[in-house]
Copies of this chain bind each other. A is one copy, B any other.
Amino acid sequence: MLVADNATAPTYTIGECARRSGFTMDTLRYYERIGLIDAVGRTATGQRRFTDGDLEWLGTLKCLRDTGMPVEQMARFADLVRDGDHTIPERIRLLETHRLAVDDRMADLAAKRDYISGKIDYYRSV
């Protein structure tokens, strides 16, 4: 359920945000607690309201997490983003390092996939 103030930007409850981001509500709260997400906007009664900007950031986090970046390093990246544009060179370095790690992982998976295929072929030949 979109919770919109028709004149302004749409916002989302934590449940809707979970649905859209692919994280669970618990994980969203956890990420906010440990500083992966900046303090999320709240209603007068204290309920979270996520913005499209929050969702975009969550998309980045999801990508980093799903490619195996540890939470600690994501937190480092989040800090850099918070610190402003002068950290962009370091953000690039961090992402490039991570991309290399992803490349290694993919190469390793490809090699091991072949090993598995060989095993399957062997079993088929028996």
Chain A residues in the interface with B (C-beta under 8 A): 60, 63-64, 66-67, 85, 88, 91-92, 95-96, 98-99, 102-103, 105-106, 108-110, 112-113, 115-117, 119-120, 123-124, 126
Contacts and interface: CB of A to CB of B under 8 A. Distances in A.
Contacts of A119: 60, 95
A106 B110 CA distance: 8
Nearest to A99: B116
Contacts of A91: 123
Contact of A63 (B98, B99, B103, B112): B112
B85 A126 contact: yes
A98 B92 CA distance: 35
